[in-house]
């Protein structure tokens, strides 16, 4: 065990968790290939043939709306020799044709045509070689995908979270911006930062100065997490500010505060008087994370202004996480004691992650055992 890590600190993961390929691969296979992923806004998939692709751990997936209007999720690889089928997003209304040898699949996943079928594939049963299914679900105007066709429901993964995000009802909002930010850090540092209450006073001393951090409240809901903090007393309610487009249907409490939530492991959310934001911390390398930011707001909101507002503190978070990342390979790296309440969610995140990965805990530090 690294000498800097001890059970008393509450910081349960060893430094290796933040930079080694071994941890990265284990997380990809045992965590991200086995969980729900935010794939799209429902408006991205409004018409038959609309599709989006995504990576669920090492599993490339595609979500497509069929001619019958149903959303379906498939593994985005050809059943012949495994070529990736679709890239990015778009519309493929006439079906999915593999570029390699032109196997032709319907939007329902069935294999419809194979060139030279009778001559080269005698006796082949097309019905056996359709696309492999995953699962798909929707919540709040957002589409989620899971690589396992027998995954538990999206509702059970979200659990009590939707009921505890206040009055936002994200389905009533419009996605007005979609941006990607790159963080040169391990994805877990970004999640830990998101559930760290203590840094609000300091790292965000300027950007979040209007909020009353001593009245910050958080709640652990199974593996998920929700929180809220009000504006300081005496700070003008944003509804009184003509320059802002506050969300019409939210209540007075939500119009005068900030929410931050997390669906385990990496779907992070923030709410304000003007927006409901999701930002997924998507690991692309042990020391590199893409932050996939989507802003939902009133349709007439100033999207550029909302991007500036939401990213003002996210950019500070990324900067902080990158500076921790720069230290994690130091022979002297280690965590000291965590704040009893304000950093407790980090310990809980580490516990849930350790359980998901099946890592053993020795004197409080999780060791990455040989691959399961």
What residue ranges bind Fe ion (CB under 5 A)?
317
Query: Which lies closer to ligand FES via its Cβ, residue 77 or residue 277?
Result: 77
Query: Which lies closer to Fe ion via its Cβ, residue 63 or residue 200?
Result: 200
CB of 78 to ligand FES, least distance (A): 3
Contact between 58 and ligand FES by CB under 6 A: the answer reads no
Contact between 81 and ligand FES by CB under 6 A: the answer reads yes
* Residue 215: partners with Cβ closer than 8 Å, 6 or more residues away: 229, 230
Residue 24: which H helix or E strand, with range?
Answer: helix 21-30
CB of 289 to ligand FES, least distance (A): 31
Residue 90 CA to residue 85 CA, distance in Å, equals: 13
Q: Which of 11, 18, 51, 103 binds ligand FES (CB under 6 A)?
A: 103
Span interacting with ligand FES, options 99-107, 240-248, 319-327, 361-369, rule CB under 6 A? 99-107
Whether residue 81 contacts residue 88, with contact meaning beta carbons closer than 8 Å, is answered with: no
Q: Which does 298 bind (CB under 5 to 8 A by kind): ligand FES, Fe ion, none?
A: none
**How many CB atoms neighbour CB 56 within 10 A?**
23
Q: Which does 317 bind (CB under 5 to 8 A by kind): Fe ion, ligand FES, none?
A: Fe ion
Q: Which does 86 bind (CB under 5 to 8 A by kind): Fe ion, ligand FES, none?
A: none
Query: Which lies closer to ligand FES via its Cβ, residue 58 or residue 100?
Result: 100
Contact between 34 and ligand FES by CB under 6 A: the answer reads no
Contact between 78 and ligand FES by CB under 6 A: the answer reads yes
User: How far, CA to CA in Å, does 26 sit from each of 30, 74, 224, 340?
Assistant: 6, 23, 21, 30
258: Cα separation from own chain's centroid: 19
| Residue 226, beta-bridge partner list | 219, 261
Length of the chain: 372
Contact between 163 and ligand FES by CB under 6 A: the answer reads no
Q: Which residues of 142-174 are buried (b: 16+ CB within 10 A; e: fewer)?
A: bbbbbbbeebeebeebbeebbebbbebebeebb
Whether residue 261 contacts residue 269, with contact meaning beta carbons closer than 8 Å, is answered with: yes
Q: Which of 80, 110, 178, 232 binds ligand FES (CB under 6 A)?
A: 80
Which residues make up the interface to ligand FES (CB under 6 A)? 78, 80-81, 83, 98, 100-101, 103
């Amino acid at each position: 065990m690294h000498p800097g890590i001890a059970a008393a600190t509450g910081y349960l993961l060893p430094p290796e968790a933040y930079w080694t390929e071994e941890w990265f691969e284990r997380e990809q296979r045992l965590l991200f290939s086995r969980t729900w992923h935010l794939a799209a806004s429902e408006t991205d998939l409004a018409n038959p043939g609309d599709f989006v692709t995504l990576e669920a751990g090492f599993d490339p997936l595609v979500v497509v709306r069929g001619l019958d209007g149903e959303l379906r999720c498939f593994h985005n690889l050809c059943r012949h020799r495994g070529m990736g089928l679709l890239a990015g997003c778009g519309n493929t209304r006439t079906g999915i044709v593999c570029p390699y040898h032109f196997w032709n699949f319907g939007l329902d996943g069935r294999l419809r045509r194979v060139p030279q079928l009778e001559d080269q594939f005698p006796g082949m049963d097309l019905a056996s070689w359709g696309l492999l299914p995953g699962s798909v679900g929707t919540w709040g105007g957002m589409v989620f995908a899971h690589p396992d066709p027998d995954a538990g429901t999206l509702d059970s993964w979200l659990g009590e979270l939707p009921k505890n995000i206040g009055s936002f009802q994200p389905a009533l909002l419009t996605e007005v911006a979609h941006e990607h930010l790159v963080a040169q850090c391990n994805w877990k540092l970004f999640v830990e930062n998101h559930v760290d209450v203590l840094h609000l006073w300091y790292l965000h001393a300027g950007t979040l100065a209007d909020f009353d951090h001593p009245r910050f409240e958080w709640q652990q809901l199974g593996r998920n997490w929700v929180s809220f903090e009000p504006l300081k007393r005496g700070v003008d309610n944003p509804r009184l500010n003509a320059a802002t487009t506050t969300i019409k249907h939210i209540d007075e409490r939500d119009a005068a505060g900030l929410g931050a939530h997390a669906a385990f492991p990496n779907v992070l959310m923030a709410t304000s008087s003007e927006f409901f934001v999701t930002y997924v911390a998507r690991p692309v390398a042990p020391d590199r994370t893409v932050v996939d930011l989507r802003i939902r707001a009133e349709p007439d909101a100033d999207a550029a202004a909302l991007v500036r507002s939401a990213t003002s503190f996210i950019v500070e978070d990324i900067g902080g996480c990158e500076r921790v990342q720069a230290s994690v390979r130091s022979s002297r790296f280690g965590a000291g004691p965590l704040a009893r309440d304000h950093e407790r969610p980090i310990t809980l995140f580490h516990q849930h992650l350790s359980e998901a990965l099946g890592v053993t805990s020795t004197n409080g530090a999780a060791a990455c055992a040989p691959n399961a």
